[in-house]
Structure 1
Amino acid sequence: MALFDLLGRSWTLGIIWQLSQGNLTFRQLQEQCESVSPTVLNKRLKELKECALVDHDGKGYLLTDLGQELFALLSPFGAWSQKWSRTVTEKIEDGK
């Protein structure tokens, strides 16, 4: 349940998703997560570091091996969510 609590916090999944593309500085990560406040981003990064999912290598933030493993488990949700979004959109449009 602790993992689901962490993943359910605002911007946690977005940060993991962005870092799956490679190392990012704080500023780059903030730009990729367009509407995240610096305070929330800082807090999430601290939490993810404490949970051994994210680290900082002096150049930027990156997923640890555990973080990469978690992303590999979450990655299929990306394709599924696109399919789900299309289904919901079509259902709404058909109802009009």
Structure 2
Amino acid sequence: MEAQHIDEAACRTFRLAAELAGKKWNAAILLAMARGADRFSSIAVAIDGISDRLLTARLRELELHDLISREVVPTVPVQVLYRLTPAGSDLIRILHPLVQWSQRWDQTPAEATAPA
């Protein structure tokens, strides 16, 4: 079998994308938003265990990478709405098969599911 050339630039780009999507909480945030959560509080409620401080940091990171947008609505009190961008929606389409795969093959280590 002939060795295939690996495109280093493509590998770097893929690695960065995989690290962003795989960073703890990022996929959960995107999936919560895909299911309709569009405010900080609704995203926080949808994701069990994330702190407000960490959710704030992850939302800023996802916005920086153009996966979500943030809109300030000038109401009293001020509302902030988060929405998936086209890039974020594309990523969700890619993540769904991964979620299905993980459910099918349950990649949770046995010791993590064993009763204490």
Q: Which moved more, 1:57-66 or 1:23-32?
A: 57-66
Q: CA RMSD in A?
A: 1.9
Partner of 1:85: 106
Q: Cα distance, 1:20 vs. partner? A: 0.9
Higher Cα radius of gyration = 2
**Long gaps (5+) in structure 2:** 1-14, 73-79, 111-116
Which of 54, 57, 63 is the equivalent residue of 2:71?
A: 57
Q: Would the aligned equivalents of 1:23 and 1:60 in 2 still touch at CA under 8 Å?
A: no
Which of 81, 88, 91 is the equivalent residue of 1:70?
A: 91
Partner of 2:45: 31
Higher helix share: 1
Partner of 1:45: 59
Q: Cα distance, 1:29 vs. partner? A: 0.5
Higher strand share: 2
Deviations 1:18-77 (A, max 9, x none): 111124210110010111001110000000000000112335211101100111011111
Q: Distance in 2 between matches of 1:85 and 1:4?
A: 20
TM-score, normalised by the number of residues in structure 1: 0.81
List, as ranges, runs of 4+ consecutive aligned residues in structure 1 with deviation greater than 3 Å: none
Percent identity reads 27
Query: Looking at both structures, which has the greater relative contact order when contacts are Cα pairs under 8 Å and sequence separation is at least 6?
Result: 1
